């Protein structure tokens, strides 16, 4: 067994919170640049140039690219040969989020008693943590700062097997159309197909971790991703919904076997900044 002290994870998580919110991914920067080239609307082109400039300022000044520094979502893949020592793992990861949001001057956006009091917890905790046990003796932590505006545009829907692939495509396109300028397009569309109600949602969220420009290894699903991306970009919503060619940077589908009676579908939308980082320990 490999021993890992949970306290060593605190600064790792804290740094990831700051890095993800202030330094946008290379794939996002490339997507802005390519979109500036491809966009036909002069107004939309101007928006994209400002977004690229915003990313530069955020990085240079160590400021979050977006004031909504998101819900802290952690995916933790734990090798089964790892033994955690030194305390409670979940508490250590939570402390990492707490320290990162404080040290990085990141906005605290989490409220307790959501249906009633809605009091801000003041430190952006608790995070949502998805643990997964995998072979080996490594720990991989993926941090995602998930914005609230785009999360609100997401949906889980239980289709019937008869609705099939056509029903899936229709539902995804309609969801993006109805979302319009709300989720800060150009968006990323994460699609979870199959599993159960909650599995589909998790698949859709994990799909958002895929880099822009990468497709599903299954050629059939990759073809669906490309078709959906083209159709979404034909909607004309454009950056910020002002009208334009580039409505989405990517569509990423993840699938899982499902029940003979079901066809669960989850659509998780991410805004253009698409903030996530990963570290392997």
Partner 1 sequence: MSVIRLTPPLDEETLSKLRIGDHCLISGVLYTARDAAHKRMVEALDRGEELPIDVKGQIIYYAGPAPTPPGKPIGSVGPTTSYRMDPYAPRLMEVGLKGMIGKGPRAKEVVDAMVKYKAVYFAAIGGAAALLAKQVKEAEVVAYEDLGPEAIRRLVVEDFPVVVVNDIYGGDLFVEGVKKYAKEG
Structure tokens, 25: 């991914």
Asked if 243 interacts with partner 1 (CB under 8 A), we say yes
* Largest CA-CA distance found in the chain, in angstroms, rounded: 59
Stretch that binds partner 1, among 56-64, 80-88, 161-169, 260-268 (CB under 8 A): 56-64
Asked if 125 interacts with partner 1 (CB under 8 A), we say no
Stretch that binds partner 1, among 60-68, 130-138, 163-171, 199-207 (CB under 8 A): 60-68
Closest to 3 (Cα-Cα) out of 68, 77, 83: 83
Outline where DSSP puts E strands in 114-162: 119-120, 128-134, 139-146, 155-159
Going by their DSSP bridges, the two strands 155-159 and 263-270 should be labelled as: antiparallel
In the complex, what is the shortest distance from the CB of residue 251 to partner 1, in angstroms, rounded to a whole number?
A: 17
Helices within the chain (DSSP H only)? 9-22, 26-38, 42-61, 89-103, 148-151, 164-179, 197-207, 219-233
Of the residues 14, 15, 64, 203, which one makes contact with partner 1 according to CB under 8 A: 64
Q: Which of residues 91-110 bind partner 1 (CB under 8 A)?
A: 105-109
Of the residues 3, 40, 218, 227, which one makes contact with partner 1 according to CB under 8 A: 40
In the complex, what is the shortest distance from the CB of residue 201 to partner 1, in angstroms, rounded to a whole number?
A: 21
Asked if 137 interacts with partner 1 (CB under 8 A), we say no
Of the residues 46, 77, 137, 278, which one makes contact with partner 1 according to CB under 8 A: 46
What would the DSSP string read from start to end of 164-224?
HHHHHHHHHHHHHHHHTTTT-SSEEEEEEEEE-HHHHHHHHHHHTTSPTT---SSHHHHHH
- 239, 245, 247, 251 alpha-carbon torsion, rounded to 10°: -150
CB 29 within 8 A of CB 54: no
Asked if 250 interacts with partner 1 (CB under 8 A), we say no
Asked if 132 interacts with partner 1 (CB under 8 A), we say no
Asked if 180 interacts with partner 1 (CB under 8 A), we say yes
Going by their DSSP bridges, the two strands 2-5 and 82-85 should be labelled as: parallel
> Residue 209 or residue 237: which is nearer to partner 1 going by CB?
237
> Residue 9 or residue 145: which is nearer to partner 1 going by CB?
145
Asked if 53 interacts with partner 1 (CB under 8 A), we say yes
Stretch that binds partner 1, among 5-13, 66-74, 155-163, 206-214 (CB under 8 A): 66-74
Residue ranges in contact with partner 1 by CB under 8 A: 40-43, 46-47, 50-51, 53-54, 57-58, 61-69, 105-109, 118, 120, 122, 149, 152, 180-184, 234-238, 240-245, 271-273
């Amino acid at each position: 067994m490999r021993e890992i002290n949970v306290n060593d994870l605190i600064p790792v998580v804290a740094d990831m919170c700051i890095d993800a919110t202030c330094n946008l991914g290379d794939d996002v920067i490339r997507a802005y640049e390519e979109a500036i080239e491809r966009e036909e609307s002069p107004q939309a082109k101007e928006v994209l140039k400002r977004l690229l400039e915003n990313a530069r300022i955020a990085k240079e000044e160590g400021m979050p690219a977006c004031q909504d520094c998101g819900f802290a979502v952690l995916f933790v893949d734990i090798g089964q040969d790892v033994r955690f020592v030194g305390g409670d793992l979940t508490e250590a990861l939570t402390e990492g989020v707490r320290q990162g949001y404080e040290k990085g001057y990141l906005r605290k956006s989490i409220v307790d008693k959501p249906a009633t009091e809605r009091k801000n917890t003041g430190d952006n905790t608790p995070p949502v943590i998805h643990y997964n046990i995998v072979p080996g003796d490594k720990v991989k932590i993926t941090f995602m700062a998930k914005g609230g505006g785009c999360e609100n545009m997401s949906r889980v829907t239980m289709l019937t097997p008869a609705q099939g692939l056509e029903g899936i495509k229709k539902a995804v396109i309609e969801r993006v159309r109805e979302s319009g300028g709300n989720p800060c397009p150009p968006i990323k569309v994460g699609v979870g197909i199959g599993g159960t109600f909650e599995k589909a949602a998790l698949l859709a969220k994990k799909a958002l971790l895929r880099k822009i420009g990468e497709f599903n290894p299954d050629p059939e699903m990759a073809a669906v991703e490309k078709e959906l991306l083209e159709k979404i970009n034909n909607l004309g919503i454009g950056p910020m919904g002002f009208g334009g060619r580039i409505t989405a940077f990517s569509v990423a589908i993840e699938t899982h076997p499902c029940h003979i009676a079901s066809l669960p579908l989850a659509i998780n939308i991410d805004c253009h900044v698409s903030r996530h980082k990963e570290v392997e320990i």
